Amino acid sequence: MSAASIAMTIRRVYVCGRSEQPTQPVISGYQESEQVTAGDVVELACTAAVPRDALGWHRADQQRLSSNCTTTSSDGGRGQAVSTCRLTVVTRPDHNGAVYNCTATHRSSTTVVAMTSLIRLTVLCEFIKVKDDLDSMLQQVTDLLARLRDTPPVL
């Protein structure tokens, strides 16, 4: 094999390696420190440098969830598409602690690499919100009674 042939082979491997470089999916639209109430709508977005059919949402180990995926742009000239999949979740009490995974699958002629990012939802049940409202009202009544006690009677 000639030096030119070896150089061409190395160049092709390098270019292929760069254009198929796996990237970790990035999830936006919700932070794990947030709390939502059952019935709230959470809009999750997952972005990775893969074609849109190689990106998808899953809940725990369940099958792929239906999401709206689009290819948005090029990734700065490396030759890969950057795709975003959006998932709308209308939260329910059983979603508390639910883990949503976004997986980007990178395929080459010799390997398949799947990279996953995940997010865990904290969903408060409605009765907790009602209890908080009742606690607030009770505090307001207590404050009002204290003020009335401190106010001299009007003659």
113 found inside a domain: yes
Tokens of 7: 């150089």
Report, as an integer, the average pLDDT of 142-147: 84
The whole-number pLDDT of residue 151 equals 72
Residue 126 has pLDDT above 70, yes or no: no
Task: Give the least confident one: 7-16, 40-49, 62-71.
Answer: 7-16
Of 25-29, 32-36, 81-85, 89-93, which range is least confident?
Answer: 81-85
- Its domain, for residue 119, covers 22-125
Q: Does 134 map to a domain?
A: no
Sign of CA dihedral 7, 13, 16, 18: negative
Q: Look at residue 130 and tell me if it is in a domain.
A: no
Q: Is the pLDDT of residue 144 over 80?
A: yes
Q: How many domains does the chain have?
A: 1
Percent of the chain whose pLDDT exceeds 70: 72
Is there a domain that residue 46 lies in?
yes
pLDDT per position as a tens digit, 52-108: 778 889 887 676 777 788 876 665 555 567 888 899 999 998 889 999 999 888 877
Q: Between β-strands 99-107 and 81-90, what pairing exists: parallel, antiparallel or unpaired?
A: unpaired
Burial class (CB in 10 A: 0-12, 13-18, 19+), 105: middle
Structural domain contains residue 6: no
pTM of the predicted protein model? 0.62
